[in-house]
């Protein structure tokens, strides 16, 4: 069994809190390496916050803060009445096999040769962390006990059991109080936005959309023949809509693609704006599960006591984009209009994963997976930031927000992002240039970099290629 | 064991072929009733065509024709080398429980009271016929042996195994020769059409769409900012597009919503039209599995040797609308453009059902289910036609096409369909008025009636209500 030896240097420039976090993370990985030959690491009980503060001669508040942070990152699990534990981590979780599909594809005579994995692609879940066996067990459970629920659903809003579990999930993660009646299952978040536009917006009305924003939102607004009121992003987040706008779509937890959380004052201003009979606010909370420092930011919907905010969540970032499942949380007054809309257009969501996902949530598998993924992504996030600061600061500046599944590297004005991306793509390195996002003014010049589904080596290889193209 | 006693009346007005079919169907149901107390009926070997023709004193060709027809309807299964058998039919398949979901929902505290089942709703699969256990077994098979394939797919076109099975399926049912490379899995057929529009059509180009047509096709064309060239339906089917049209979407096997197959000359005219560098034809073959008389009509795509037809199939009519899975069969020259399109917009299809569906097809479950459903729907189709002819001929005329999952009842011009539908809806009877379909001229006045997922009693109840509102 590994033994804890922490050394805190009160004269160092790094804050005590950071030193302690660093050492506990380091210990978790070191003991993992020692335990690897014996299989998965057993849960390791940490000293109480009081005992550790006495041992190290630092304040107990610092220890509590560090434990909180590491709990958020997934290193620590606290068990009621029995203290805090370093989480069991299996070797395979930290060292994903190079091709998780290799074995199951062996018998398939596929014509395509495996292509080089494109580097720096943003926003993809690392599916080697995904608990495939537990998911298969949840699916198999439904096959055995509720086979008809794989194909049938008698409610246009989706399977009741899943809506109940989502109500618990958003209460836990996002502080949102919602009943299952308010929850509507959609085919991912863009299908959810398209449904909102069709239900709430008459053609020709004006909808406020962040500038820049996710391209699909812009496209759906155009498809629905809405006028677009561009909401530029300043240092508090998206600016308020103009007087004629009826509906606004915002990403207050983590602006896409720029990153950054909306300032509390701006949030309140949006809530006040929405408190008008003709106004509605759509909160697109596409990846709020991934924050790597500090406390989670509550969902804007949880603060809107006037019930004028529609909350949009997605499982795409947790499963894969091909999973195609998300949800809308509707204010109670909108339940009937959305039902009527679905009666004429039918539902977009596939029924098959719904009952299995309810089981998977109920069993706690998604929560455990999320904690693991958050820790994994946080390490890669820090590594990417470090590389950019150390090696690429001549060419631009990373936007540090400690959250999300992508990172913006703002390029110096004399380096056009599209040309860099074009040159990189010839080497299978595929960040997204900021200027490709729908934006009013085109003032953004930078690259949206991915890190979540790469090894440290792959991240470094991508950055080296980037630097080679920049210099 | 039941004994065959056929009586053929050569002086009757009904053709000998019809008489024979009727008696074999009757025998299948009668023997079922006798066998019910002993569980499922055993396969019953039919006399050879030669023996039966001698016994009844009719031509062997007539017997062959009757056996072919009943094979198509699913009453007869022929086994190589051992003759023809009446298919085993379980009691539950013919007498679906009133609420197949009742048991699995028992523990769920759902707030909604069960509503009356709306009658005469067109186009819905009878899911009480669906082999839920076999489907669950196929899903469980993937859970056990290929758990990762429930969430991962490394090809934007979909799982390779499924594409192979679909290639076999369309070869068998529709006479289409296609390789798995040409097959692209979509989230149902409307998602497939939207993808075609986005890939093949630049904004402002002209697309030919049948008038009337399925509303979602019209809507997607508008969303993609295409000009619409309405193709009126005459007695040969959709008329040819005008000179500036580049793309046409047609339903040659069974026009939606009017019913009826496109005349062979018109099919050839469309194939000739498409044989032009700038033209493409989309064949929407949404329910061709359901023909109740005569031979299956080959897919237009199987006749187009210039490879200018995109074929669009769907599993929605076989599973349920909530299954959300369909496929496109692309001409070889379009594989690359569609791949490029998907690379920028991602796939619409959910990965989860794909590998299970490949297994389900490979095991033959879908084929058996289809035969059973075809027979079941054919009986209801004939019953609905009979009721309309006997009781409603004063008010209009059914369009008899012996195919599909809905039937058009053309109303007399002085009876406006929307008003009738509006009055019926107050009694939970919900056919779709023809005038609600997108159509250039608005000349259609009638009701699209559903029959597939109803008992005979429910069909009769719906028609009685209809007649009460009409008189």
Of A110, A152, A320, the CB nearest to B151: A320
Please give the Cα distance from B140 to B128 (Å, whole number): 21
Nearest to A148 among B132, B139, B351 (CB): B132
Residue range B148-168: mean pLDDT, rounded: 94
A173 band by pLDDT with thresholds 50, 70 and 90: confident
pLDDT tens-digit readout, B408-437: 999 999 999 999 999 999 999 999 999 999
B303 in contact with chain A, both atoms CB, cutoff 8 A = no
Average pLDDT over residues B193-217: 90
List CB contacts (< 8 A) between B167 and chain A: none
Please indicate whether residue B173 or residue B139 has the higher confidence score (pLDDT).
B139
Nearest by CB: A151 against B130, B147, B350: B130
Going across the sheet that includes B44-45, the strands are B44-45, B83-86, B76-79
Q: How far is A140 from chain B (nearest CA, A)?
A: 5
**A22 pLDDT higher than 90:** no
Q: Is the dihedral of CA A126, A128, A131, A133 positive or negative?
A: positive
Q: Is A181 on the interface with B (CB under 8 A)?
A: yes
CB A78 within 8 A of CB A71: yes
ipTM of the complex: 0.74
Q: Which of A107-111, B51-55, B56-60, B118-122 has the lowest mean pLDDT?
A: A107-111
* Geometric angle at alpha carbon B308, from B302 and B313, rounded to 5°: 55
Using CA atoms, how far residue B423 sits from A437, B396, B457, in Å, is: 50, 17, 21
Tens digits of residue pLDDT in B292-310: 987 777 899 999 999 999 9
B187 to A324: CB separation less than 8 angstroms, yes or no: yes
Written in H, E and C, the secondary structure of chain B is CCCCCCCCCCCCCCCHHHHHHHHHHHHHHHHHHHHHHHCCCCCEECCCHHHHHHHHCCCHHHHHHHHHHHHHHCCEEEECCCEEEECCCCHHHHCCCCCCCCCCCCCCCCCCCCCCCCECCCCCCCCCCCCHHHHHHHHHHHHHHCHHHHCCCCCCCCCHHHHHHHHHHHHHHHCCCCCHHHEEEECHHHHHHHHHHHHHCCCCCEEEEEECCCHHHHHHHHHCCCEEEEEEEECCEECCCCCCEEEEEECCCCCCCCCCCCCHHHHHHHHHHHCCCCCEEEEECCCCCCECCCCCCCCHHHCCCCCCEEEEEECCCCCCHHHCCEEEECCHHHHHHHHHHHHHHCCCCCCCCHHHHHHHHHCCHHHHHHHHHHHHHHHHHHHHHHHHHHHCCCCEEECCCCECCCEEEEECCCCCHHHHHHHHHCCCECCEEHHHCCCCCCCCCEEEECCCCCCHHHHHHHHHHHHHHHC
Please determine, for residue B237, whether its predicted confidence score (pLDDT) is greater than 90.
Answer: yes
- For A307, counting Cβ atoms within 10 Å of its Cβ (0-12 exposed, 13-18 middle, 19+ buried), the class is middle
Q: Nearest-CA residue of chain B relative to A319? A: B151
pLDDT value for A101: 35
Tell me what pLDDT residue A67 has: 82
Closest CA relative to residue B303, chosen from B335, B272, B261: B272
Cross-chain CB nearest to A143 (options B143, B181, B224): B143
pLDDT band, very low/low/confident/very high, at A270 (cuts 50, 70, 90): very high
Q: What is the pLDDT, as a whole number, of residue A89?
A: 42
| pLDDT band with cut points at 50, 70 and 90 for residue A91 | very low
| Angle at B373 (CA atoms; ends B367, B376), nearest 5 degrees | 145
- Of A21-30, A343-352, A375-384, B329-338, minimum mean pLDDT range: A21-30
Nearest to A147 among B136, B148, B153 (CB): B136
Residue B272 has pLDDT above 70, yes or no: yes
According to the model, what pLDDT value does residue B136 have? 95
Indicate the SS3 state at residue A245. Answer: strand
**Which residues in B lie closer than 8 A to residue A111 (C-beta atoms)?**
181
Residue B139: pLDDT over 50: yes
Q: Helices A456-470 and A365-391, interaxial angle, to 10°? A: 30
Share of chain A above pLDDT 70, in %: 87
User: Given its phi and psi angles, is residue A123 left (phi above 0), alpha (psi -120 to 50 degrees) or beta?
Assistant: left
Q: Cα separation of B190 and B184, whole Å?
A: 14
- Predicted confidence at residue B95, as pLDDT, reads 34
pLDDT of residue A34: 54
Percentage helix, strand, coil for chain A under 3-state DSSP, each rounded to 5: 45, 15, 45
Selected residue of A152, A203, A346, A365 to mutate for chain B interface (largest B Cβ count, 10 A): A152
Distance from CA of A83 to the nearest CA of B (A): 35
- In chain A, what residues touch B139 (CB-CB under 8 Å)? 139-140, 143, 150
| Torsion sign, CA atoms A349, A219, B212, B73 | negative
Whether the pLDDT of residue A294 is over 90: the answer is: no
What pLDDT is attached to residue B185?
96
**A147 contact residues in B (CB cutoff 8 A):** 132-133, 135-136
pLDDT > 50? residue B2: no
A-B Cβ pairs (cutoff 8 Å, strict): 139
Rounded Cα gap, residues B39 and B397, in angstroms = 42
Measured CA distances, B225 to A108, B55, B198, B203, B204 (Å): 41, 65, 10, 5, 6
Mutate which: A106, A136, A195, A437, vs B, most B CBs within 10 A: A136
pLDDT tens digit sequence for A413-450: 999 999 999 999 999 999 999 999 988 776 899 999 99
Cβ of residue A302 closer than 8 Å to a chain B Cβ: no
Residue-level pLDDT at B73: 56
Q: Is B315 touching A (CB cutoff 8 A)? A: no
- Supply the pTM of this predicted model: 0.77
Q: A425-434, B169-178, B438-447, B458-467 — which is least confidently predicted? A: B438-447
**Beta-ladder partners of B419:** none
Among B residues 15-54, those touching chain A with beta carbons less than 8 Å apart: none
B347/A322 Cβ within 8 A: yes
Q: Which residue of A has its CA nearest to B148?
A: A132
Terminus-to-terminus CA distance in chain B, angstroms? 48
CA distance B456 to chain A (A): 22
pLDDT computed for residue A93 by the predictor:
35
Give the separation between CA A54 and CA A48, rounded to whole angstroms: 10
| A321 in reach of chain B (CB within 8 A) | yes
H or E element in which residue A250 lies: strand A245-250
Chain B nearest C-alpha distance from A324 (Å):
6
Whether residue B323 and residue A151 make contact (CB cut-off 8 A), yes or no, is: yes
**Are A388 and A463 in contact, with CB atoms under 8 Å apart?**
yes
| Interval B388-406 mean pLDDT | 95
Gap between the Cα atoms of A409 and A433, Å rounded: 10
Q: What is the structure's pLDDT at A116? A: 79
A52: alpha, beta or left, given left = phi > 0 and alpha = psi -120 to 50?
alpha
Taking 70 as the threshold, does the pLDDT of residue A39 lie above it? no
What pLDDT is recorded for position A337? 95
Strands (DSSP E) contained in A292-370 are: 309-314, 326-329
Do the chains contact at A127 and B161, CB–CB below 8 Å?
no
Ranked by mean pLDDT, the top range of A159-173, A430-444, B3-17 is A159-173
Length of chain A: 471
The confidence band for A3, taking pLDDT boundaries of 50, 70 and 90, is low
Rg (CA), chain A: 23
DSSP line for A199-227: HH--TT-EEEEEES--HHHHHHHHHTTPE
What confidence tier does B42 reach under pLDDT thresholds 50, 70, 90?
low
Average pLDDT taken over every residue of chain B: 86
Question: B154 and A322 in contact by Cβ < 8 A?
Answer: no
Task: Assess B344–A contact: CB distance below 8 Å, yes or no.
Answer: no
Give me the pLDDT at residue A158, please: 96
Please provide the average confidence, as pLDDT, over all residues in chain A.
86
- Put simply, the answer to whether B148 touches A140 (Cβ < 8 Å) is no
Shortest distance, CA A131 to any CA of chain B (angstroms): 9
Chain A closest CA to B324's CA: distance in Å? 6
pLDDT of residue B332: 97
Q: Verify whether the Cβ–Cβ distance B350 to A322 is below 8 Å.
A: yes
* Encoded tokens for A385: 């930031």
pLDDT category of residue A206 using cuts at 50, 70 and 90? very high
Rounded CA-CA distance B239/B439 in Å is 14
Q: What would the mean pLDDT of A326-336 be, rounded to a whole number?
A: 97
Q: What percent of chain B has pLDDT over 70?
A: 87
**What integer pLDDT is reported at residue B225 of this predicted model?**
83
Q: Is any Cβ of chain A less than 8 angstroms from the Cβ of B332?
A: no
Are the C-beta atoms of residues B17 and B23 closer than 8 Å to each other? Answer: no
pLDDT band at B36 (very low <50, low <70, confident <90, very high): very low
- Angstrom distance (rounded) from CA B218 to CA B438: 7
Closest CA to B315 of B295, B288, B339, B337: B288
Which residue in chain A has the smallest CA separation from B134?
A: A147
């Amino acid at each position: 069994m590994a033994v804890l030896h922490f050394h805190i240097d009160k004269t160092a420039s790094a804050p005590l809190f950071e030193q302690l976090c660093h050492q506990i993370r380091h210990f978790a990985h070191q003991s993992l390496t020692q335990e690897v030959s014996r299989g998965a690491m057993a849960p390791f009980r940490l000293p109480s916050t009081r005992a550790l503060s006495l041992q190290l001669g630092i304040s107990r508040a610092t220890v509590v803060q560090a434990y909180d942070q590491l709990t958020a990152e997934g290193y620590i699990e606290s068990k009621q009445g029995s203290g805090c534990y370093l989480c069991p981590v299996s070797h395979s979780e930290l060292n994903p096999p190079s091709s998780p599909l290799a074995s199951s594809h062996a018998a398939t005579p596929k014509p395509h040769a495996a292509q080089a994995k494109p580097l720096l692609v943003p926003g993809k879940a690392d599916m080697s962390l995904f608990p495939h066996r537990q998911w298969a067990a949840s699916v198999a459970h439904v096959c055995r006990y509720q086979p008809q629920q794989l194909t049938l659903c008698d409610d246009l809003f989706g399977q009741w059991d899943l809506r109940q579990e989502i109500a618990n999930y958003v209460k836990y993660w996002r502080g949102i109080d919602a009943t299952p009646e308010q929850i509507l299952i959609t085919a991912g978040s863009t299908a959810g936005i398209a449904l909102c536009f069709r239900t709430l917006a008459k053609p020709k009305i004006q909808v406020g959309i962040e500038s820049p924003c996710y391209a699909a939102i812009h496209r759906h607004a155009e498809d629905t023949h809405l006028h677009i009121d561009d909401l530029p992003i300043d240092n508090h987040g998206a600016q308020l809509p103009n007087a004629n706008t009826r509906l606004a779509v915002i990403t207050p937890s983590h602006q896409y693609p720029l990153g950054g959380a909306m300032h509390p004052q701006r949030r309140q201003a949006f809530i006040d704006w929405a408190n008008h009979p003709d106004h509605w606010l759509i909160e697109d909370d596409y990846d709020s599960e991934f924050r790597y420092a500090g406390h989670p930011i509550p969902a804007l919907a949880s603060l809107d006591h006037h019930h004028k905010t529609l909350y949009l969540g997605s499982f795409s970032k947790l499963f894969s984009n091909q999973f195609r499942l998300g949800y809308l949380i509707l204010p109670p007054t909108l339940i009937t209009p959305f039902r009527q809309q679905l009666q004429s257009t039918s539902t977009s969501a596939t029924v098959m994963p719904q009952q299995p996902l309810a089981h998977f949530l109920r069993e706690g598998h998604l929560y455990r997976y999320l904690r693991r993924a958050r820790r994994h992504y946080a390490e890669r996030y820090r590594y990417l930031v470090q590389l950019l600061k150390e090696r690429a600061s001549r060419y631009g500046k990373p936007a540090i927000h400690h959250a999300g599944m992508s990172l913006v590297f703002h390029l110096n004005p004399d380096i056009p992002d599209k040309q860099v991306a074009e040159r990189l793509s010839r080497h299978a390195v595929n960040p997204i240039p900021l200027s490709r996002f729908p934006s009013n003014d085109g003032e953004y010049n930078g690259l949206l970099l991915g890190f979540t589904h790469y090894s440290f080596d792959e991240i470094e290889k991508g950055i080296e290629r980037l630097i080679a193209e920049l210099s």
